[in-house]
Amino acid sequence: MSVNVKQLAAEKAVEYVKDGMKVGLGTGSTAYWAIRKLGERVAEGLKITAVATSQASEDQARELGIPLVGFGDIDRLDLTIDGADELDGKLQLVKGGGGALLREKIVAMGSERMIVVADESKAVETLGKFPLPVEIVPFACEWTLSDLAKLGCEPVLRRTGDELYKSDNGNYIADCHFGAIHSAPELAKALQGIPGVVEHGLFIGIADFAIIGKSDGSIEVIEGDKHR
Q: Summarize as ranges the residues that interact with ligand R5P (CB under 6 A).
A: 26-31, 82-85, 95-101, 104
Residues 6+ apart with CB under 8 A from 85: 93, 94, 95, 96, 97, 122, 130, 133, 201
Beta bridge partners of 49: 22
Is 98 annotated for ligand binding?
Answer: yes
Task: Choose between 42 and 102: whose C-beta lies nearer to ligand R5P.
Answer: 102
Is 29 annotated for ligand binding?
Answer: yes
Q: State in angstroms the smallest separation of the CB of 32 from ligand R5P.
A: 7
Determine whether 104 is an active site residue: yes
Q: State in angstroms the smallest separation of the CB of 19 from ligand R5P.
A: 26
Separation CA 14–CA 36 (nearest Å): 10
Task: Choose between 29 and 146: whose C-beta lies nearer to ligand R5P.
Answer: 29
Separation CA 60–CA 84 (nearest Å): 19
Radius of gyration over alpha carbons of the chain, in Å? Answer: 17
Is 83 annotated for ligand binding?
Answer: yes
Task: Choose between 155 and 213: whose C-beta lies nearer to ligand R5P.
Answer: 213
Separation CA 123–CA 76 (nearest Å): 29
Separation CA 173–CA 201 (nearest Å): 10
Given the residues 11, 86, 104, 135, select the one marked as catalytic: 104
Q: Is 227 helix (H, G, I), strand (E, B) or coil?
A: coil
Is 30 annotated for ligand binding?
Answer: yes
Task: Choose between 34 and 153: whose C-beta lies nearer to ligand R5P.
Answer: 34
Q: Please list the active-site residues.
A: 104
* Binding-site residue ranges for substrate: 27-30, 82-85, 95-98, 122
* Binding-site residue ranges: 27-30, 82-85, 95-98, 122
